[in-house]
Every structure is written in structure tokens, then in C-alpha cells.
Structure 1
């Protein structure tokens, strides 16, 4: 700010001062303040609610697309989702609604491993969802929480796993066992080829196990890379989807059957427009899930991010029962209930843990060798 006052304005007539009063200089003018941070983008509860809604939308839309009996072009579906996401956020950036970094080759090279983990997570999740019902899928997804919780302790060297947290983990495993037993029991007792149905379920369980490993690796890796690159939410979404497009094109062209017969089976003429429209809608839902997941990880933690997914299971499971005719039996409902309780117990455990000083480490002693400690120190640097 330019000062327009002259030196005479600073002159003081000493004879006019009251000798009984000390001279008090004028109060300084208002100091410039730094702009306040946006309370919305740093609001943890809002990020949790947004992630809940978007994950429910994403799961239901993907199940609708994958529910076709002959659908096997999963990489094609992921490509369409990423392409729609890039077009959507680029359009928003062009009109000034959002902003994110321009493409940088060096940043893309560093972020590419995270993109590969994301592709693995989404692809294995789509395969598992193709073979399993939504309730079973969401219950087994909770096992990822256990992997992430211990991964945070061992990799980042922070946090702890208390007795109450271990109890919630036990409930998660128990609910998964009940869900698997209920699913297999229903397949054996239902009409039709029981062995074929059990084989389908076993394939779904294998894909689900791989998905848990990919998801935990992706969440932990993204958290580490965000800290190193200082990526914002839209930066993460932009690089994730842009870098995945060429990989998905290659995977779809090499690994998937693009013969006219298989294309006709995946896109029958009667339902072709509806399937393509559903794919586009599922692509738009990836915009929300990509943004809200990165947002939730940034303002909370990767463990909290997974815990939110655990609490999500009740509305997601209900949507599967309502819209996709999943079997409603006492064991299946019990598995949903136990899984939901496990999420609540886990949330309570995290609240109690955060309310007191963090002391201790894992409840079972895990010795750390010199090489392991060296590796942890190198990862932190």
C-alpha cells in the first residue's frame, strides 16, 4: 500500500501536549490477513458422507452393468469409466468450476505405480462383484480394513491396534464366514446345477481375496504418494484416470475377446443402448468416487477411509436385496448385521483411541529387525 502522507503530517507540537499525560502513538492500522482456508474442502464429516453416497452409487451402477450373464469385457468397462471421468473433469476445468495441475511427465512417471494399483483394485473388484452378490461383496470388503490397519502400523510407524479394535476385526472375519456359508448353502439347496453355482462362488471369493490385497496396497500407497507430491483431490483424480486409459486399452485389446460373436453377446441388439447408457452413468459415478475417496483419505486417514466403507455396508446390502434379487435368508441377514456391528465397534475403538495419548503398538509383540527398521526409515524419507 502506498503512503500518501507528507512529513508535516508526522509533526508534533510539544507545547500543546499535556505534560501530565504520556504521549501515546496512534494505533497501528489493520494488518493484512491471510485468506481463510475453505471450510468445506477440509471438512472431515462432509468428506465421509460424500464418500458413503458415491461408493453406494458406484457399487449399484457397476453391479447393474456386470449383472449380464454373458458380460466379460471388464477392461472395456473400466476404459469407458476413465474416459467419461476425464471428459467430465476437463469440461468442468474449462468452464472454471474446478482447477488442477496440468500434465507433467515427471509427476506422471512417479504416480504411475499408484495408477496400476488402482486398475488392479477396480478390475478385481468388478470380477468379484460379477460372481458375488452385493451383500457378500460388501461384507468381504471389510477384510481390507484389517490389512490397512496393520499396514499403517508397520509401514508408516504410527497408530496402534487396541483390544477393542481386534474384537471388531474378529467380528469382520466372523461375518465373512457367515456370508460365505449362507451363500454356499443357498447355492446347494437351490434348483439347478449346484456344483456350477459353487464353482462360481469360489471364483468370486478368489477375486475378492485379490481385491482386498490390491485395495489395501492402493490406499496405503496413495496416502504415501500424496504426502510426497502434495497432490490435491482433482490432481489425484486427473492422473489416476488419464494414466489408466492407455493401460486399459492395451489390456482390453490383448486380454479380451473382441470377436463379433463375443461383442454381440456382451451388447445384444435389444439392450445395446441401455447397456452403453449404463456404462456412461457408471463412468460419471467414478467422478464422485475418485474425488471423494481422495478427499476422505486426505482430510482423515486411510484407516478411517476404510472404516467408512465398513459402515456403508448396511445401505449397500439393502440395495442389493431390493434391486438385484439377492437371496434373503436368516444367515445372510445375520452376516449383514454382524458386519454392520463390526463397523460400529471399529468406529468406537478409533474414537476411544484418538481420545487418549497414543501409546504402545500392536497388541502382539512384533520384533523389528535392523533391516526392517532401515526399510521403514527409507520409506519415511
Structure 2
């Protein structure tokens, strides 16, 4: 029951920031209906991203899913060109290509193994199996395409709305979580099984207290994730936020091989190395772009009266 879990996390998240605000540690806007109406489409897009992502993962493997998520970075970058007058340099585009190549390398062995496993020896069962796989992939790619478009729309719209409303990072975090709650609850009632048997399976009586405590803790931790997401999009760009999201998977993959005994293969090491290389190229490209923009600005004119003789 993913949507119910996320709804509980969002409720905990909102409760935490309310308490901290009451203590005078932080400050954000009081709830305003006009602000809520302006921000609601973003919360709805966020829930749609979650739903379409979960649907695509029913048919596609995680490496293949990652490839398309990284392709979304390119979509977001050119969306910023259209909406915010951004600029994609040749070196920036090269970094995107290397990031996609990293995902392809990681997915190659996984996809090859999946295809081999779906080809039994008998001819007729083989055809039926392949037909089922092809149908599943087609449906998965459809959900993945929708997810990519909605993900780009979510990130770009969030940045545009932050600029239009002048929201602080705490404002964005507060409204995003608060308005997500009713949408998540509605999605949960529509697509999830609320029968007693399924509720018992998701919340077993013997571990229910521990599970709810873990959900509450993750909701409190999500305060930091929500805040830093809003901060990153506001002070950098939607493209940089998406690129960072792709890069942060690489240390997780590396730690899995170092600390948790994940298989160390030529493909996995190559994928991580190429991904880190893509991150370095992107950082260099953004630094060069910033220098070029600074050099293009006209120098300020110093008044004659303030100049030293």
C-alpha cells in the first residue's frame, strides 16, 4: 500500500514542521487558500510521478527504468531552455550522453539475462513466453513515457511556481507535503486494496508498532529531503537537481559492492566509473557556463568622483 505509506509520511512531515515552527526555530507562511490553489497542481504531479513510476516498474527492470529516468534529464534541460531561457552547451550535452551510457552499461547484463530466461527450449511455449514479454515491455514503456513527461513537468513547474509565488524553501516543503496528503489518500482508496486481509498483510499485528514507528521516522527524515529539494531547485536549476538525483545513485551502488557483498563485475564497475565521469563533465560545463555568463555582463561604471587620483 504505497500511497497509504506516503500519505502517513507526509502527515508526519507536516506535523514535524508545525511543531518546529511553534518552537520558533523556523518560519513559513500560514496556510492560504490562494497559495494552496496555485501549488496544488505540483502536488498532484508529484503523486502522478509516483504512480506512473510504480506502474512502469511492474513491467520493466530497475536498470531499464533508470535509463529512461536519466533520459528525462535531457527533456528537463530543454524544457528550461523554453521556459526559463536556459542554455545547453555542447559539454553539458556530452555529460548527459555519458550518464545515459552509464545506465545502458548497468542495464545490459540485466536485460540480457532476462531475455535468456524467457526463452524455454520448447518452440510453442517459447513463442508464448516471448509474446508475453513483448506485451509487458510495451505496456511498461508506455507507463515509462508518461512518467518521464510527468517528471519533467513536475520539476519545471515547481521551479516556475517558486519564482512566481516567491515561496521560501520551507513554504515549498510545507505546501508540497500538506497538499499531497488528500491526493495520496484518494489514490490509495482508488488503486489499493483496503480489505482486512490486505491491511493485515501490510501491517502484521506482531510487528505493527515497529512498522508504524519506522514509517513515522522516515516521515520525519523526509523533512530534510523535501527542504533540500526545494532549495536545490530554487538556487540552481531543474536540470542540476535532476542530474544530482541521477548521480546520487552511484555512491549507493558502490557502497553495495564494498559493504554489502553485491557482485563486482566489469559492467557494474564500468557503469559507476562512467557515471562519475559524467558528473565531473557536468560540473566543468556548468562552471565554464557561469564564467562565460559573468564575462558577458557589462562592467559597472565607477563614478568619476569616487575614483582615486
| 1:1-381 matches, cutoff 5 A | 73-125=1-53, 140-156=68-84, 158-187=85-114, 202=137, 208-321=144-257, 328-357=264-293
Once the 2 structures are TM-superposed, how far is the Cα of residue 135 of structure 1 from its aligned partner? Answer: 6.8
Once the 2 structures are TM-superposed, how far is the Cα of residue 280 of structure 1 from its aligned partner? Answer: 2.1
- Give the conservation status (yes or no) of the 8 Å contact 1:80–1:283: yes
Please say which of residues 314-323 and 132-141 is displaced more in the overlay. Answer: 132-141
Once the 2 structures are TM-superposed, how far is the Cα of residue 204 of structure 1 from its aligned partner? Answer: 6.7
Provide Cα deviations, 1:186-208, integer angstroms capped at 9, x if missing partner: 445679x9969978995776655
CA–CA distance in structure 1, aligned partners of residues 199 and 87 of structure 2: 50
Aligned partner of 2:298 in structure 1 is: none
* CA distance 1:221–1:355, change in 2 (3 Å): same
* CA distance 1:253–1:134, change in 2 (3 Å): same
CA–CA distance in structure 2, aligned partners of residues 182 and 275 of structure 1: 35
- Give the conservation status (yes or no) of the 8 Å contact 1:182–1:332: no
- Give the conservation status (yes or no) of the 8 Å contact 1:112–1:243: yes
CA–CA distance in structure 2, aligned partners of residues 264 and 225 of structure 1: 41
* CA distance 1:88–1:155, change in 2 (3 Å): same
Once the 2 structures are TM-superposed, how far is the Cα of residue 304 of structure 1 from its aligned partner? Answer: 2.0
* CA distance 1:344–1:267, change in 2 (3 Å): same
Once the 2 structures are TM-superposed, how far is the Cα of residue 356 of structure 1 from its aligned partner? Answer: 1.0
More helix by share: 2
> Segments of 4+ in structure 1 off by > 4 A?
125-140, 188-191, 193-209, 319-328
Once the 2 structures are TM-superposed, how far is the Cα of residue 81 of structure 1 from its aligned partner? Answer: 1.4
Structure exhibiting the larger radius of gyration computed from Cα positions: 1
Give TM-score scaled by structure 2 length.
Answer: 0.79
Once the 2 structures are TM-superposed, how far is the Cα of residue 129 of structure 1 from its aligned partner? Answer: 6.7
Q: How many residues align?
A: 286
Structure 2 unmatched ranges of 5 or more: 121-125, 296-309
CA–CA distance in structure 2, aligned partners of residues 279 and 91 of structure 1: 18
Supply the RMSD in Å over aligned alpha carbons.
Answer: 3.4
Structure 1 unmatched ranges of 5 or more: 1-72, 360-381
- Give the conservation status (yes or no) of the 8 Å contact 2:67–2:100: no
